[in-house]
A and B are shown apart, each in its own frame.
Chain A
Amino acid sequence: MSWRRLARSPALWGLALICAACIVGPLLLGVDAEAIDLSARLIPPGPGHLLGTDENGRDVLARLLVGGRVSLFVGFGAGLVAGVLGAAVGLTAGWVGGLVSAVLMRLTDFAFAFPTIFVLLLAATLVGGGVPQLTILVGLTLWMTIGRVVRGRVLELRQAPFVEAAAALGASPWRLVGRHVLPNLQETLAVAVVLAIHHAILSESTVSFLGLGLRPPLASWGTMLANSQAYLATSPWLAVAPGLAIAFTVLATYAVAQSLSLPQETASRFRGP
């Protein structure tokens, strides 16, 4: 993994820009994201309101930036929770095998078979709609995919020639895992975490849509998306703004994940790589 290459990656800077925009943007913009102006409802994007106003006259750009804080937190937070939990389970199950693997995989099956929507709605009713609760909850609905994918990859790697060779040379299990397995997991894990982040942001949107997620007037890209559905025919920009924000964030995250992947491909007779 090359930190230098990562630092040069435009996607990482893009992501950093998005995060920075959401953190300091609202202060720089000077517009109150919660200020209602009923005489200025549903104005299309233009001078004065760069992204227009919503059904209560609130400035969409300001809301987008403030909402971004919540969505980014939930998205990355949940992705992190899912990634850590999933990687731990997958690595353990894949490497150790046997009864441990069976138990862990059945646990994964169990967590997985529970309809996500029930889990989120049930939990939202029980623990409330705060941001930290939502982050952990959403993370808990996403780790299973990562667990299975990681386990699959670990199983492959365990039997790959270079790993068997290293084992034959007397490397300890820890060295095998650390030097050979983990580095090769990165790309798979990175892609899985990126998609978990995407699911996390959309899960938050679904729960908010059903009214059991974040409480108004707390904004997030998910609640903005949900609220825009009613006005889609008359004011489509309300859905475009949060939709594009989510798209750019996940796009940037994915590109960053790409930069984390395997070392530079060397030239070969192969046309593609």
Chain B
Amino acid sequence: MFLARRLAQAALVLWLLVTAMFVALQWLPGGPAAFLADPEFESPERITQIERNLGLDRPLLVQYEGYLAGLLHGELGWSPHQNAPVARLIGERLGPSLLLMATAFTLALVVGTAWGTLAAWHARGPVGALLDAVPVLAVTAPGFWIGLLLIYVLAIELRLLPSGGMLPPGSEASPWLVLRHLILPTVVLALPWVGTFALYTRSSLRAILVSDYLRTAWAKGLADRGVLWQHALPNAAIPLVTMAGISIPHLLGNAVVVEQLFAWPGIGRLAVESLLRRDYPVMLGIVLVVGLAAILANLVADVVYHLVDPGVRVE
């Protein structure tokens, strides 16, 4: 069965990911132990001792097997720097990140495809040119620039929206409060993707609108709107779905800047911080979780592909 085969392949890729990361970490200079010793007052022997305490002096293969064994039990290990289980560290940041990315993604998809459709429809003339230019500007404007501008204007000067964080400090989590805090970072994160989806929609749709395939539909006597909805958009949707599916991991990269700017407690910042500290268990955990998300996203995209046009054989 197609799904079973893809799931098996997904597991294989995940395993490859973890192994590759494990190996890469050995090449990286330094290790988690250095962060835990004050270099000015501690001797190098102390670092060796800390490595022993952390089990880093065992042969690589033993450590690797131990890690895999732990994974199979759902254990992601402990952070030696934050004294907390990696699963919890990632878990408490994953939620906010997913919320932000999902909201931004949805917004981008909806607004972007609408815009792109409009742009493709009105491809000729000044209206078309304007509709074309805006998405490109959206894609190129630096995120932190737009973000800071919005913070200054909407949050500081006009006091319409909060200037950062996911919740006001010390308050109970409530969907209403989170929603207010979500608006600005979502807009900033979504902006380049609004542009991207608009551009892809426009290009796919235009290619189809002028294609022979569609002339056949007209020849059959379908009205303009019917042509658009029944033939053009579904075909344009295929590359769009692909694009949509694979944009999710890219969102992680953009998310770091947005998380930093809006003090959003997400996973992007954790990734950078853990790398700088060489917190290996956390880094491995992030690769695993993000990798899983990416693989699943691709899988879903392929499945949707299948559904949108069963005529297209995916494998």
What is A's interface to B at a CB cutoff of 8 Å? 97-98, 101-102, 106, 109-110, 112-118, 121-122, 125-126, 144-145, 148-149, 152-153, 155-156, 159-162, 184, 187-188, 191, 195, 198-199, 202-203, 205-206, 210, 225, 229, 232-233, 239, 243, 246-247, 250-251, 254, 261-262, 265-266, 268-273
Residues of chain A with a CB closer than 8 A to B287's CB: 113-115, 118
Given contacts A125-B29, A149-B243, A195-B199, contact A156 B206 (CB under 8 A): no
Residues of chain B with a CB closer than 8 A to A156's CB: 235, 238, 312
Q: What are 9 A-B contacts with C-beta separation under 8 Å?
A: A110-B17, A113-B290, A125-B28, A153-B239, A188-B203, A198-B140, A206-B257, A250-B139, A262-B206
Per the 8 Å Cβ criterion, residues 121-168 of B in contact with A are: 121-124, 133, 136-137, 139-142, 144-145, 148, 152
Residues of chain B with a CB closer than 8 A to A210's CB: 272
B207 and A149 contacting across the interface, CB-CB below 8 Å: no
Closest A residue by C-beta to B286? A115
Q: Which of A97, A121, A160 contacts B315 (CB 8 A)?
A: A97
Asked whether any CB of chain A lies closer than 8 Å to the CB of B252, the reply is: yes
Main SS at interface, chain B: helix
Q: Which of A102, A113, A202, A273 contacts B294 (CB 8 A)?
A: A113
Given contacts A106-B9, A114-B291, A239-B145, contact A273 B209 (CB under 8 A): yes
Q: How far is the CA of A198 from the CA of B193 in the complex (A)?
A: 12
What is the CB-to-nearest-CB distance from B194 to chain A, in angstroms, rounded to a whole number?
13
B257 and A232 contacting across the interface, CB-CB below 8 Å: no
Q: How far is the CA of A246 from the CA of B139 in the complex (A)?
A: 10
What is the CB-to-nearest-CB distance from B202 to chain A, in angstroms, rounded to a whole number?
9
* A-B contact sample (9 more), CB < 8 A, given A229-B144, A251-B137: A102-B315, A110-B16, A113-B249, A187-B207, A188-B239, A243-B145, A261-B203, A262-B210, A273-B123
How many chain B residues sit at the interface, stated as a range, is: 35 or more
What is the CB-to-nearest-CB distance from B211 to chain A, in angstroms, rounded to a whole number?
8
Complex A-B, nearest 4 residue pairs according to Cβ-Cβ distance, in ascending order: A113-B291, A113-B294, A247-B140, A272-B121
Per the 8 Å Cβ criterion, residues 2-48 of B in contact with A are: 9-10, 12-14, 16-17, 20-21, 24, 27-29
Contact with A along B215-235 (1 / 0, CB 8 A): 100100000100000000001
Q: Which of B29, B246, B272, B286 contacts A144 (CB 8 A)?
A: B246
What is B's interface to A at a CB cutoff of 8 Å? 9-10, 12-14, 16-17, 20-21, 24, 27-29, 120-124, 133, 136-137, 139-142, 144-145, 148, 152, 196, 199-200, 203-204, 206-207, 209-210, 212-213, 215, 218, 224, 235, 238-239, 242-243, 246, 249-250, 252-253, 256-257, 268, 271-272, 275, 283, 286-287, 290-292, 294-295, 298, 305, 311-315
Q: How far is the CA of A272 from the CA of B205 in the complex (A)?
A: 11
Q: How far is the CA of A243 from the CA of B139 in the complex (A)?
A: 11
Closest B residue by C-beta to A101? B315
Q: How far is the CA of A161 from the CA of B215 in the complex (A)?
A: 13
B9 and A102 contacting across the interface, CB-CB below 8 Å: yes
